[in-house]
Structure 1
């Protein structure tokens, strides 16, 4: 069911979208559950030992991170989300952090141990990417993703990906989904040298619009996280949010023009994409054209 935000109310002027920019994780590819599993496994891979009772508890919950933690790290780059995870693990799970305090506000308490922290973050990041890469063959697309991308391609609407993931990770994640990925003109990743700041800063969407050759106001962005939606909106893009089912939809009220439960609900009419209606895919109309 579509959740209508204030900006989707009657009377809002329709726009003429020329290009579409997609987030990757949780938007095009359903990587989030596998990402959680990789995060949990990375503690042992990084020699940060998690108490056995905590590991069993997480396993019984499907190897998912607690939502109170997951919602804080959606859309962030590894260098930003890993300290949050380490702080949560130290405070809530009793994980030994080798005498380093990662709890909330650690930046103001740290005493010339930046190199030690950087080494731990780098090790954890590499462990997480390695584990996630091992799980890549299990990655499924998000509902409606390939159908929507293919339809936009048929209509010659250029598409790009703007993801906080590093390029090496994207190359692994795409291995089962080349039919979809071949439709993208550009893939901008978090380690692109032109991206100085990660989401929610606008850098990555500004770069995506630039590479597509359109002003951000002519671009429609699909995002699953609030930080990602903030990034796209601050760049000047129009935003459609397709959040995790656990996310409070109202969190997108000020940063998304439309909130959907799935890309299968998308209709392009208000965006000037009059021949893009995902309900037609369900009826087989596109394939008949």
Structure 2
């Protein structure tokens, strides 16, 4: 179970110019689906290639969580002293390139999403509704190229005028989290300054990204990364459910 408890004093989010939300693990439990998809794919790959040590959930949090898909693949393989050709985003999922392996994982992820569906966290949806009622601009900041599909499946796409996702990041040549690029660009798309805005993140790399972007408040959402790890990464506040800002 996550170790975090809500900080005793939480900021009034309506006092800020905008609130930016990571998607997977913050708005929807897709982080769990991503974890399962990565585990399934890498366990098969490691077994086929005789790679050790075996894949673990710690690998997910350290090398994959919050990063663009291909960057995550390269990072994890590098941790096992494996360097592959980068390849091309159009690579077949069977290709033994960084892009091919990333696409292989996406096939597994899409299959789980289609079969099981997804729903937003109730506490997160309540906070989004509260901010909308207060006319606070909101946006989604996700490294995933599946963000649009996930938002549609969860029935919340129409709530966000700005979706800064992996597709946009690739098109605009933005660096992956933990670099600040995607959060800063989302703020620009909303027409606000990071120093007057709030960012929500559950990934260590995402917290580092928002902190590096100069956001006034960086809320770490502890879905398993660990409250202390989130604080060390730059979170100014840690909660285990976004309902803490509503109740």
Aligned mates of 1:256, 1:49 — CA distance in 2? 34
The alignment status of 1:69 with 2:45, answered yes or no, reads: no
The alignment status of 1:35 with 2:11, answered yes or no, reads: no
Residue 74 of structure 2 aligns with which residue? 83
Q: How many Å apart are 1:3 and its aligned residue?
A: 4.2
Aligned mates of 1:174, 1:22 — CA distance in 2? 12
Aligned mates of 1:134, 1:15 — CA distance in 2? 38
The alignment status of 1:50 with 2:47, answered yes or no, reads: yes
Q: How many Å apart are 1:190 and its aligned residue?
A: 2.2
After TM superposition, the score normalised by the length of structure 2 is: 0.79
Equivalent positions of 1:251-262 (< 5 A) are 251-254=229-232, 255-262=234-241
State whether residues 133 and 173 of structure 1, in contact with CA within 8 Å, keep that contact through their aligned partners in structure 2.
no
Most deviating of 216-225 and 134-143: 134-143
State whether residues 133 and 172 of structure 1, in contact with CA within 8 Å, keep that contact through their aligned partners in structure 2.
no
**3-state SS of paired residue (1:191):** helix
**3-state SS of paired residue (2:97):** helix
Q: Which runs of 5+ in 1 are unaligned?
A: 59-64, 89-102, 267-277, 280-289
**3-state SS of paired residue (1:239):** strand
Q: How many Å apart are 1:41 and its aligned residue?
A: 3.3
The alignment status of 1:211 with 2:189, answered yes or no, reads: yes
**3-state SS of paired residue (2:130):** helix
The alignment status of 1:142 with 2:142, answered yes or no, reads: no
How many residues get paired? 227
Partner of residue 2 from structure 1, selected from 6, 13, 24: 6
Q: Which runs of 5+ in 2 are unaligned?
A: none
Runs of 4+ aligned residues of structure 1 deviating over 6 Å after TM superposition are none
Partner of residue 131 from structure 1, selected from 108, 114, 117: 108
Aligned mates of 1:16, 1:75 — CA distance in 2? 27
Aligned mates of 1:15, 1:233 — CA distance in 2? 20
Partner of residue 227 from structure 1, selected from 191, 205, 229: 205
State whether residues 163 and 189 of structure 1, in contact with CA within 8 Å, keep that contact through their aligned partners in structure 2.
yes
Aligned mates of 1:66, 1:216 — CA distance in 2? 35
Question: CA, structure 1 residues 204+195, in 2 after alignment: closer, same or farther (shift >3 Å)?
Answer: farther
**3-state SS of paired residue (2:163):** strand
Q: How many Å apart are 1:49 and its aligned residue?
A: 6.7
CA deviations 1:6-64 (Å, max 9, x no partner) are: xx79xx9x9930111000111111012211221233358xx84736xx9xxx9xxxxxx
